């Protein structure tokens, strides 16, 4: 993936495609670095915030849907969050197939601190884009529509 994101060499005109991918990659890298300082990642914060917003334990399948990923991904992410002491797995007595993830106190605090960092970046990005935000938004939407 990284290879496709290589920066333009002086003699070559950068394609819009590669520019978009590279920019997004660098943007994400910046956020990941910021989150590292509190021992978190975007993936982890995503799960923690989903749980915090929900306010109650969520089945892993639910978590996968909300985070737009595959179930096995959540299984492993929750493994790590559990090892970090941020989340606990609970059984559902109603249906013994389902496992629910619930936030620990440390998990709630992590959701807050990680969330604050991401919101700060959202502010920064919004401010940087300014009036171009809507243009950019529409442009990206058009790209998505093309599948």
**Residue choice 43, 78, 87, 117 for contact with a copy of itself (CB under 8 A):** 43
| Residue 43 vs 52, nearer CB to DNA | 43
Residue 86 touches which member of a copy of itself, DNA, none, C-beta under 5-8 Å by kind: none
What residues numbered 81-120 form the site for DNA, per CB under 7 A?
89, 95-100
**Closest approach of DNA to the CB of residue 69, in Å:** 4
Q: Do 136 and 128 touch, CB atoms closer than 8 A?
A: no
User: What CA–CA distances, in Å, run from 2 to 29, 44, 64?
Assistant: 12, 22, 26
147 binds DNA (CB under 7 A): no
Q: Check binding of 21 to a copy of itself (CB under 8 A).
A: yes
Residue 20 sits at φ, ψ, to 5 deg, of -60, -50
- Terminal CA-CA length for the chain: 19
* Shortest separation between residue 96's beta carbon and a copy of itself, angstroms: 27
Strand partners, 102: 88
3 state DSSP class of 5: helix
Q: Interface mask (CB under 8 A) for a copy of itself, residues 79-118, using x and -?
A: ---------------------------------------x
Q: Measuring CA to CA, how many Å separate 14 from each of 11, 22, 83, 140? A: 9, 11, 43, 18
Residue 48 as a binder of DNA (CB under 7 A): the answer is no
Complex with DNA: residue 116 or 139, whichever CB lies closer: 116
């Amino acid at each position: 993936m990284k290879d496709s994101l290589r920066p333009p060499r002086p003699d070559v005109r950068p394609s819009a495609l590669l520019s978009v991918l590279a920019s997004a990659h660098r943007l994400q890298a910046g956020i990941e670095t910021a989150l590292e300082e509190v021992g978190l990642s975007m993936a982890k914060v995503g799960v923690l915030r989903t749980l915090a917003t929900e306010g109650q334990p969520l089945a892993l399948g639910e978590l996968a849907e909300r985070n737009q990923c595959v179930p096995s991904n959540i299984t492993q992410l929750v493994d790590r969050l559990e090892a970090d002491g941020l989340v606990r797995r609970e059984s559902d007595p109603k249906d013994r197939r389902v496992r629910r993830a619930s936030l620990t106190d440390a998990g709630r605090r992590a959701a807050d601190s990680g969330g604050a960092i991401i919101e700060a970046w959202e502010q920064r990005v919004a401010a940087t884009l300014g009036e171009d935000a809507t243009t950019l938004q529409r442009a990206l939407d058009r790209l998505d529509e093309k599948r």
